[in-house]
């Protein structure tokens, strides 16, 4: 049985959530992360609510990335685990500030003006590089999800 869960979390939050859970292999989730019941007809809403509640404990950033993750349980060594696939990643940037250092062999005038132009045109920059950025983010999220679910039992993530 395959389930689909949609999350809207900042990518750094996802990274921290996954790393925290990976560090807790075989143990309980951190206090600020709450599990959801798979029998709950509103499991997506529960996951989103609990993910949002954890944000203040982890990050503050002006970027939202939405992930669509398909998952299904599988048995390994008599214990159920979860195989998850990040099928999509899309985002919205509220603002972007760039401060590149040592540009043009340290030419201060060219470096400062380049940063100024990039910062004044951040929306166009995000529009241009956004699709590649989100695909790259999806691949990174997939790697992190694989790492997380490799060692955390299914019932530690999804309650009965």
Starting at the edge strand found earlier in the chain, the sheet holding 3-9 runs 3-9, 63-76, 79-93
Q: Which run of H or E residues covers position 85? A: strand 79-93
pLDDT at 11 over 50: no
CB count within 10 Å of CB 149 equals: 21
Of 89, 53, 50, whose CA–CA distance to 69 is shortest?
89
β-pairing, 3-9 vs 36-37, is unpaired
Judge if pTM exceeds 0.75. Answer: no
- Which residues on adjacent β-strands are paired with residue 68? 6, 88
pLDDT at 19 over 60: no
Residues 109-129: tens digit of each pLDDT: 998 999 899 999 999 988 888
Domain range annotation of the chain:
3-94+136-159
CA 75 to the chain's CA centroid: 25
Residues 30-61: tens digit of each pLDDT: 677 788 888 888 887 887 787 777 767 655 46
State residue 116's pLDDT score: 93
Is residue 132 left, alpha or beta, with left meaning phi > 0 and alpha meaning psi from -120 to 50? alpha
């Amino acid at each position: 049985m395959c389930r689909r869960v949609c999350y809207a979390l900042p990518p750094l939050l996802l990274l921290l959530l996954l790393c925290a859970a990976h560090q807790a292999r075989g143990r309980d989730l951190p206090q600020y992360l709450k599990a959801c019941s798979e029998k709950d007809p509103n499991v997506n809403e529960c996951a989103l609510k609990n993910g949002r509640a954890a944000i203040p404990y982890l990050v503050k950033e002006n970027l939202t990335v939405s992930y669509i993750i398909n998952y299904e349980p599988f048995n390994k060594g008599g214990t159920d685990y979860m195989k998850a696939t990040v099928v999509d990643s899309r985002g919205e940037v509220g603002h972007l500030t760039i401060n590149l250092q040592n540009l043009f062999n340290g030419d201060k005038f060219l470096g400062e003006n380049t940063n100024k132009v990039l910062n004044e045109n951040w929306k166009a920059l995000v529009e241009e590089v956004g699709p590649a950025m989100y695909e790259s983010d999806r691949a990174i999220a997939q790697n992190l999800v694989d790492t997380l679910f490799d060692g955390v039992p299914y019932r530690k993530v999804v309650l009965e």
